[in-house]
Homo-oligomer: A and B are copies of this chain.
């Protein structure tokens, strides 16, 4: 089997990640809930992972790292927690439904939402975004399109929007593939998927916040702190972490960061190499239209002339054991902007090989005869 669906979820995890997560299931207490030695040891481990993420993403302090079940929960906390009735918010047509659907919900509560278009090159039109952003309380931008891998210059976005607007970023596809320092980039809320480039397991995610980001809680419940108080604690991370934490998932995320810490740039270069090899190979196939350019996320979107994307994905799976994703990729406005009704997306990870890319190209070339 060739797994080229890493933008949906990382198909292969580093051994230290799986090993540590499995160990965390075997001997665990509830971190932060009791005062005995095992609970304290688990709580210390959670704090250690918080510290690792704080450093990895340049957060101002560990308590600005909130664990979530996935990137979507992190985005919901940031969006529903920071934006309120009467506010204006600007986003882009490149966003995933994890951004679009919470914003649509906010729109129904009296929030004005504007969508920045794409440039002709398929990137975010920062000039248009800048013009829309006057008076906005928040700007919501993906760090990399999950459809094409197109990535805005986020420092330029920060410069182009009002200083007092919160910059909320969807890091689902970018995290783990490039250095992201929220303090240096002026990002106020970074939503992290733990199970893609970050190499953790499904069920791991995080919200990384600047010092001025203060979301209202999305959920309410026990925190093991200030338990006499029926309000959520007003300190972080407890304010945003109700209920039992996903200890094995958190451990896996910490191990992912440790694994990445010595390999981030090496992985990036290798993934650019594989992505370019795939792009160049597809370019030479006459019935292929490419929608991606070189990128460090391993994302390559394309169309096969005369064949719906789902059919391509289904045939590649059935005939060649290749896993790619067709359809809309939960990003309907992006497809509208690109003028497509679905694309084939191959998405690579550092665990893929040049040989797999060659096998894939051969399989795609073979689609034509039967198209």
Q: Could you say which residues of chain B place their CB within 8 Å of the CB of A134?
A: none
- Which residue of chain B has the shortest Cβ distance to A99 in the bound complex? B221
Which of A22, A35, A76, A223 counts the most B-chain CB atoms under 10 A from its CB? Answer: A35
B72:A221 contact, CB within 8 angstroms: yes
Q: Could you say which residues of chain B place their CB within 8 Å of the CB of A276?
A: none
Which one, B34, B37, B314, contacts A325 given CB within 8 A?
A: B34
> Counting CB contacts under 8 A, is A367 at the interface?
no
> Counting CB contacts under 8 A, is A144 at the interface?
no
Given contacts A22-B18, A202-B28, contact A37 B97 (CB under 8 A): no
Which one, B96, B218, B249, contacts A219 given CB within 8 A?
A: B218
- Which stretch of A226-234, A263-271, A295-303 is in the interface? A226-234
Fill in one digit per residue for A187-213: 1 if any B CB lies within 8 Å of its CB, else 0.
Answer: 000000101000001110000000000
Q: Could you say which residues of chain B place their CB within 8 Å of the CB of A328?
A: 227-228
- Which stretch of A121-129, A135-143, A156-164, A315-323 is in the interface? A315-323
> Counting CB contacts under 8 A, is A173 at the interface?
no
Given contacts A202-B28, A244-B202, A246-B246, contact A219 B35 (CB under 8 A): no
Interface size range of chain A in the complex: 35 or more
B5:A323 contact, CB within 8 angstroms: no
A34:B8 contact, CB within 8 angstroms: yes
Q: Could you say which residues of chain B place their CB within 8 Å of the CB of A48?
A: none
A325:B36 contact, CB within 8 angstroms: yes
Q: Could you say which residues of chain B place their CB within 8 Å of the CB of A76?
A: 218-221, 242
Given contacts A29-B5, A313-B35, contact A70 B318 (CB under 8 A): no
A220:B323 contact, CB within 8 angstroms: no
B9:A28 contact, CB within 8 angstroms: yes
- Which stretch of A54-62, A101-109, A349-357 is in the interface? A101-109
A39:B5 contact, CB within 8 angstroms: yes
Q: Could you say which residues of chain B place their CB within 8 Å of the CB of A18?
A: 22, 25-26
Q: Could you say which residues of chain B place their CB within 8 Å of the CB of A231?
A: 101, 104
Fill in one digit per residue for A2-32: 1 if any B CB lies within 8 Å of its CB, else 0.
Answer: 0101001101010001100110011111100
- Which residue of chain B has the shortest Cβ distance to A314 in the bound complex? B35
> Counting CB contacts under 8 A, is A277 at the interface?
no
Given contacts A25-B21, A201-B25, A219-B218, contact A242 B101 (CB under 8 A): yes
Which one, B21, B29, B104, contacts A3 given CB within 8 A?
A: B29
Known: A22-B22, A36-B323, A104-B231. 20 other contacts (CB 8 A): A1-B38, A3-B29, A3-B38, A9-B33, A11-B29, A22-B25, A25-B201, A69-B243, A70-B244, A70-B246, A72-B221, A75-B221, A76-B218, A98-B243, A104-B220, A222-B330, A227-B327, A248-B248, A248-B249, A249-B249
A-B pairs with beta carbons under 8 Å apart, 21 shown:
A3-B38, A5-B29, A8-B29, A8-B39, A11-B28, A18-B22, A25-B252, A35-B326, A36-B322, A73-B243, A75-B221, A76-B221, A97-B223, A98-B242, A104-B220, A193-B244, A195-B244, A202-B247, A203-B203, A227-B328, A248-B249
Question: Could you tell me which A residues sit within 8 Å of B by CB distance?
Answer: 1, 3, 5, 8-9, 11, 13, 17-18, 21-22, 25-30, 33-39, 69-73, 75-76, 96-98, 100-102, 104-105, 193, 195, 201-203, 217-224, 227-232, 242-249, 252, 310, 313-314, 316-318, 321-332
